[in-house]
Each structure stands twice: as structure tokens, then as C-alpha cells.
Structure 1
Amino acid sequence: MSAAFTDTGAGNLALHVGDDPAAVRERRSRLEESIAAAPGSLRFMNQVHGNTVAIMDAGSPAPEADAMVSRGLPLAVMVADCIPVLLAGESGNGPVLAAVHAGRPGIANGVLPAAVDSMKSLGAARIRAWLGPSICGSCYEVPDALRAEVSALVPATRSTTAWGTPALDLPAGARAQLEAAGVQVEYAGGCTLETDSLYSYRRDRNTGRFAGLVWCHG
């Protein structure tokens, strides 16, 4: 099982940001080639900042969801400041994978524990997680009332910006939720806002999306 994150070098991978759809599909095809996945097998989702988890198979259309779980089918999640979380576990029937779009609403509403529960319902054990690049707790400024609301639900998210204003640390919240679910965090990426080679909505609202990918080797 492998996990990886793209950057601006792979181009925009989202169909909903005003880019040429044919160009986006070509980039997605190149991604499939790069991970030796069958053409058209890499599954994307229509992300809606909720906590719905979709169980995917080869015939599943792109779901309206913020997490997908599969029995080995390659999965992708797109972001530009939210956390792309990739999960992999083992079951008696083979690998179980998940890709999760963990933004502020998703963290607050428990999309990560929901994804882990779905993986476990398919028999997954020894689940590991990779947290891709996202906006960090020193940069994600929010109103004080919003910080209070989210941190009341997920205390680890409470933070302060580098310049002293209220903030949320979504990676810390994600790590706390995963560890509480018995998931080992293998990797956490850097800050999108501080990294020019990554798309960041906070830096430029007219931006693309990079992706997190999780797949099995043939």
C-alpha cells in the first residue's frame, strides 16, 4: 500500500474551479499512469464539507461525500488548505483504503472517526494514516467565536496565529481524533499557505487543487 501527495507540478486536479475539463482529465490520467493504476480506476469524490463516507467499488460513480473507503481500489482527495488524509489497513479479505477531505467542518463533525469506523466495518485492522499538507495552526486565523465553537468539539484544534490572533490547528485535531481511534499517524505534511509549490485558497482564492492518493501495488 502506498500514499502520496501531488503539488503544483502535477497541475490542478479539480473539475470545479473553472479549469478546462479536458486538461484536468488528462492530468488525472497521467496520475493513474504514475501509480500504475488501471485507466479510469482512480476514484475522486464531489467534496461538500460534510461527514458522509462512501464505500467504493469499481462501478461506483463519484459520490457527494468527504470520505471514501474501498477494498483496494485507488482513491484520491483534493485540497487547497484542508487536510488530505489517507488511511490504509489490513483485513482478512485484503487491504482496506480510505481518502478523507478533512476541513474545518469535517473535523468538527467527525468525518475522520466516521471513515475509520467504516474501514473497521470492512474488517480493517492495523490502520495507518498519512496527513498531507494543509494550512497550519499558526496561519489559520478564524474569528474567536468560531475557534471556541470548534475547539469545544475538538479541543486539540485550539490555536493562536503567529501574530497573536485566534486560530485553529486542524492537523492537531486530526491527529487527536485518529489516535483516539487507535490509528497510527505515519506522516504529517507542511503548511500550504507557507509553501509556494502547493495550492492554497487562503493565499489565492482563484487557485487549483492538489491531491492525496492512496493505492495498492499490483
Structure 2
Amino acid sequence: MLRYYPARFPGVGVAFTTVDQGNLALHVGDDPEAVLMRRRELEASLGLDAQRFWYMDQIHSTIILDAGADVLTASTASGHPTADGLISPCGDGALAVMVADCLPVLFIASTASGTATAVAHAGRRGLLDGILPDAVERLRAAGGTDVHAWIGPSICGACYEVPRDMSAEAELQLPGITTSTRTGTPALNLPAAAAAQLRALGVRVEESGICTLEDKRFYSYRRDNSTGRLAGLLWPVDQDKARNAAQ
């Protein structure tokens, strides 16, 4: 697991899981009991005790919900809300976003009372439709300043081949997103486009630089379309525990 305890935000943990933590998604044909057990083990390993991560039924939309009441009222039969982003205006929610090539983007912002946090699932469609600017706007509307974002492991531009017409359409919507694969075919560079979009909004960005297709520590739908899902995670941490864990 890639785990960080940002010095600027000592009360928040940031992490991206690997295949070592196992599949965390309920929608990929895995045994539901096994998935739930992995989730509980993950929460215990991060010191969450009785707190649980909020997961989503992700549909490549730009829907962002408040963790808490909005999530509870929007939850489906799976127990998860249909959304592609979650925000915790007080920074007290444990938030999860699942991917297997799309971008898991985690946000932390300073507020007068502490922090506000958010997570977003940004695949090609969500990125082009503006889910990341929407998340930044929601954080700032909650009083957030000094917004930081972490872009987790995702497919790189050299690996994300797309049809030529899709490449051209994407470039019209988000100039600079297009690139080429190593063999010269049309491709999209989602991580670079996301980072540029966020920096233009005044967000400080940390990029993992890890390609999920190339690095077998991570799940990749392009490598195996029956694969599991990794999770990008934000959660409130005890500051003393965080300092000890970081040493």
C-alpha cells in the first residue's frame, strides 16, 4: 500500500491500495463476504476502529455527494450511493474511491476549523465532463483554502490507446489531453491532463507517476477486464499515531 501522512495536514491519512490488500469492489464478481472482510481488515490496519470507509457505486458521472446524510439518503441496494465523488466538509469522513486504470484523485483543503476532504473517480468521461473542477469548487464552497490533490496510480498516456475520433473529440473538450502511444497510435494522457487542469485552478498536485497497466502491483482493466479494484483512501487519523507510523 502507498501510504502518506502529509505534514501540512497532520490529521488526515492518504493511501492507495495494491493487489496485496486484495480486490475491494463488490461489482466485479468476487465473493461479497470476502470483499467485506478485506475492507474490515484494511480499516483495522489503518487504525479506524469502528469507523468505516464510504464507498460509491461509480458510473463515470460528475455527481459529488456529501459524506453523511447525502450518502445515506442516496444509497442503493448495495449500501453505497451512486456517485463519482464524495466530500467531507469537516474532514471527519473516511472516504474511498475505486479504480483499475481510471484516476483516483484525493483532495485535502485547509479550513478555519481544520480540514475538508474529497475523493473523485476521474476516468476519461468524468475528467472531460469536469468532475475535478467541481470537486475543487465544492471544497472552496465549504471554506477550503490551500487545496492539495494526490493523483494515484492510473493508466499512463503511453498505454491508453484510443480511437482517433475519440482522441480528437477529447482534445476539443480538454486541450492538451492527447498524446501518442509508444507505437505512435492516438492516446490520451489522463494523469497529465488532470494535473494541468488542477494546477490551473491553483491546486497543489502530487502525482504518483505509476501506470497501472505496466505495474502489476496494481489492478488494471486494460490488462485484465475481469480484474479487481484498488482504492484511493482518505481518513481522519490520530496525530500521535500518524507521527509514529511515519517514522
- The TM-score with structure 1 as length reference comes to 0.96
Q: Distance in 2 between matches of 1:59 and 1:117?
A: 18
Q: Distance in 2 between matches of 1:153 and 1:39?
A: 43
Report what 1:215 is aligned to: 235
Judge conservation of contact 1:29–1:40 (CA < 8 Å) in 2. no
Matched, 1:152 2:163: no
Q: CA deviation at 1:74?
A: 1.2
Judge conservation of contact 1:83–1:102 (CA < 8 Å) in 2. yes
Q: CA deviation at 1:187?
A: 3.0
Residue by residue over 1:112-158, the C-alpha shift from the partner in whole angstroms, topping out at 9 and shown as x without a partner, is: 00011111111111111111010000000000110111111111211
Report what 1:8 is aligned to: 19
Q: Distance in 1 between matches of 2:174 and 2:70?
A: 36
| Residue type of the alignment partner of 2:37 | E
Q: Aligned ranges for residues 128-207 of structure 1 at < 5 Å?
A: 128-207=148-227
Q: Distance in 2 between matches of 1:187 and 1:92?
A: 27
Matched, 1:68 2:73: no
Say which one has the larger Rg. Answer: 2
Matched, 1:24 2:4: no
Q: CA deviation at 1:173?
A: 1.1
Report what 1:53 is aligned to: 64
SS of 1:127's partner is strand
Matched, 1:93 2:113: yes
Q: Distance in 1 between matches of 2:70 and 2:205?
A: 30
Q: Distance in 1 between matches of 2:46 and 2:201?
A: 29
Matched, 1:42 2:59: no
- The TM-score with structure 2 as length reference comes to 0.85
Q: Distance in 2 between matches of 1:99 and 1:39?
A: 21
Q: Which runs of 5+ in 1 are unaligned?
A: none
Q: Distance in 1 between matches of 2:95 and 2:207?
A: 18
For these two proteins, the number of residue pairs brought into alignment is 218
Residue by residue over 1:88-114, the C-alpha shift from the partner in whole angstroms, topping out at 9 and shown as x without a partner, is: 011113211111101000110000000
State percent identity of aligned pairs. Answer: 49
SS of 1:60's partner is helix
